[in-house]
Amino acid sequence: MYRLKYDHTEERTILISLRSGCQTAFRQIYSAYSGRIYLNILKMVKSEQDATELLQEVFIKVWDKRELIDPEQSFRSYLFQIAKYTVYNFIRKNNLEKQIQAYLSLHGTALYSHVEEQLYEKQEEQWLSQTIEQLPPQRRLIYKLCKIEGKSYNEVSALLSISTSTINDHIVKATKYIKERHGILDKSTLIIISFILLQ
């Protein structure tokens, strides 16, 4: 039977550390709750692959919104609420995708191909912008200066008074993070989100 690894006092200490951005605390929380959350999600979506991806999405949200965590309140309830709405959104988007596919099967796909390409490009731009904003402050600034504004490493080095090797390290880590985040999204999901955003 599943049991939590921490009592309330221990968990409160871990949550305070998590709010401050402690990755060790995040791993502890993930270890304590991920198994139970996964099983609950699996019961609802009936797919191990979807459940695994949704589990990761839940904990990405926990990390992104860690500053909103109240250590004095039930973290278990908070976490299960995030999981519930994550699954509901997933189901809603899937149902919308089915409706779109049914419509297209009746009206042809010639127009769809053109619309799909435009929507995908638009969503890719929006997604990249949002993902860059999730980087740590200095890494975000360096990435924008080098990759968005096109400044050289030497220019950024002089501007921020840091070495080019440090800049390179930030760029490598930022690029890896963006690629990893992109990997959890597939093209069909992006298209459906685009339709929702354009309603």
Instruction: Quick: pLDDT tens for 96-147.
Output: 666 666 655 665 555 455 555 555 566 677 777 888 888 888 888 998 899 8
Q: Per CATH, which fold does 109-199 belong to?
A: Arc Repressor Mutant, subunit A (1.10.10)
Which residue intervals of 65-109 are DSSP H helices? Answer: 75-107
What are the residue ranges spanned by the domains of the chain?
1-108, 109-199
Percent of the chain scored above 90 by pLDDT? 32
The DSSP letter of residue 145 is I
pTM for the whole thing?
Answer: 0.50
- CB neighbour list of residue 75: distance below 8 Å, 6 or more residues apart: 11, 15, 29, 69
CA 109 to chain CA centroid, Å, is 31
The H or E element containing residue 53 is: helix 48-64
The Cα 92–Cα 86 span in angstroms is: 10
CATH numeric code, 1-108: 1.10.1740.10
